[in-house]
Amino acid sequence: MARLPRSCRCGNVHASGERCPSIGVTLPYLKGWGVTRSRILQRDNYTCYLCGRYGADSVDHIIARTNGGSDNDDNLAAAHLTCNMMKGVKMVKASENLAWAESVGIAPKTANNSSGGVFGKFGALAETIPDLIRPLATYGVLSDLPSTDKPFRYGENLQYPMACNDSIGDCTIAGIIHAAQIWALIAGVDYTYPGDTVTSDFYYQLTGGPDSGLQLSTVISACSQPNPLGFELIGAATVDINDYDLMRQALYNFGCLYWAFEVPQSAETDFAESKPWALLSPPDQNILGGHCTVANGTQRETQITPIPKGNLYDHVTWAAQTEMTQGFYEYYGEQAYVLIPKWFATCGHDALQKLDQAQMLEDIHQIGTAKVAYKATVI
């Protein structure tokens, strides 16, 4: 069979097996590619995953083959050829700027708290399967990731929606929507809150009907597939909540942490008074419920009034930007996750290039399977 010519991100057409002189990639001959292309275009309704518009005329590897991406359907998406070409340009530009966070989506802290209202609802349930999501160090050498000692906060000027969390216990859904706002800012894509109806419907779909709350892993698994919130995840990893430097590094490189913790009565007072949520001595044991928010920044103890373990985390909850101390989170914290949106792969996010993207994609798609298997063993 004759080898068919294929389009390249450089904008030219090369024969399969020919090496592109511009980007240095050899285009492989894929048997049956025409059938695969047609299937993916129809599956995605000819909608470009890079710009969101109709009329896609090509199929792209979300994680590039040169970065270990496979030819499996879950790594393929419909795209305009022009958008696909621009993705290649953006990846080259991004890779030239390892300190991307200094100029993209990040801001020095100018204000500490925008809270001062009343508490919303709780709904973060404890995880039941240990080690379901693997540590970040599984996917790469963490010393290869940049860090900073400067105080920083992502999405400082964003308007965060309540996302129904004043009336129902969907904090896990509200949290991941707030994370998506920050990811979109970093990746340079447009993201619009899908609205209260979509948000609450998705929450009740995942709970099976009652307002019972959710495990974070349930939401992560659901968002690794097409979903109504408007984004997809291609990776997830845990971060040791007792390692402040690692938490800080993860925040700096990936924009936010999706985390859960128990909330004591004292935090309600701190929130109402626009104060950081601090660990009392002795700790408050009056627990109101489990909660999920997103951490989006931090500053070291030397930059604030010294208190025990007083390094501060910024986090978003109930449509407000607030803070908590390192000591508070280490005492009440349950788990913290780095999540990777598909947008980071399409924009050539520098930190992501240092991780095993193919393994992350494979692992995140196993979460749902593992949860179903576990549920079958306890029924």
* pLDDT for residue 378: 59
DSSP string over 72-114: SGGGEEEE-HHHHHHHHHHHHHHHT-TTGGGTSSEE----S--
Do residues 213 and 123 lie in contact, with contact meaning Cβ atoms separated by under 8 Å?
yes
Identity of the residue numbered 127: E
Pairwise CA distance, residues 271 & 372, whole Å: 37
Structure confidence by residue, pLDDT tens digits, 26-39: 444 445 677 788 88
The Cα–Cα gap between 296 and 294 comes to 6
Coil/strand/helix, residue 12: coil
Give ∠ CA 138-139-143 in degrees, rounded to 5: 90
Q: What is the pLDDT of residues 307-346, one digit of tens each?
A: 555 689 999 999 999 999 999 999 999 999 999 999 999 8
Which domains, and CATH codes, for the chain? 5-95 (no CATH), 100-378 (3.90.70.10)
What are the start-end ranges of the H helices in 132-222?
A: 171-187, 196-207, 216-222
Token representation of residue 51: 């710009």
Structure tokens at 91: 């990846």
Share of residues in the chain with pLDDT > 90 (%): 50
DSSP 165: T
Helices (H) and strands (E) in the chain, counts: 11, 12
Q: Which residues of 7-32 are buried (b: 16+ CB within 10 A; e: fewer)?
A: ebbbeeebeeebeeeeeebebeeeee
Q: What is the pTM of this model?
A: 0.75
Provide the residue-wise pLDDT of the chain in tens; the chain has 379 residues: 333 344 444 444 444 444 444 444 444 444 567 778 888 888 888 888 776 677 888 888 877 776 667 788 888 888 887 677 656 544 444 443 334 444 444 555 544 566 666 689 999 999 999 889 999 999 999 998 888 888 888 988 899 999 999 999 999 999 999 999 999 988 889 999 999 999 999 999 999 999 999 999 999 999 999 999 999 999 999 999 999 999 999 999 999 999 999 999 999 988 988 888 999 989 999 999 999 999 999 987 644 444 555 689 999 999 999 999 999 999 999 999 999 999 999 888 888 989 999 999 999 999 988 888 877 775 5
What region, left, alpha or beta, does residue 213 occupy, with left being phi > 0 and alpha being psi -120 to 50 degrees? left
Element housing 320 (H / E): strand 320-325
The CA distance from 354 to 76, in Å, is: 21
In whole angstroms, what is the distance from residue 204 CA to residue 201 CA? 5
Interatomic CA distance for residues 295 and 329, integer angstroms: 11
pLDDT (0 to 100) of residue 70 = 79
Copy the structure tokens of residue 342.
Answer: 């598909």
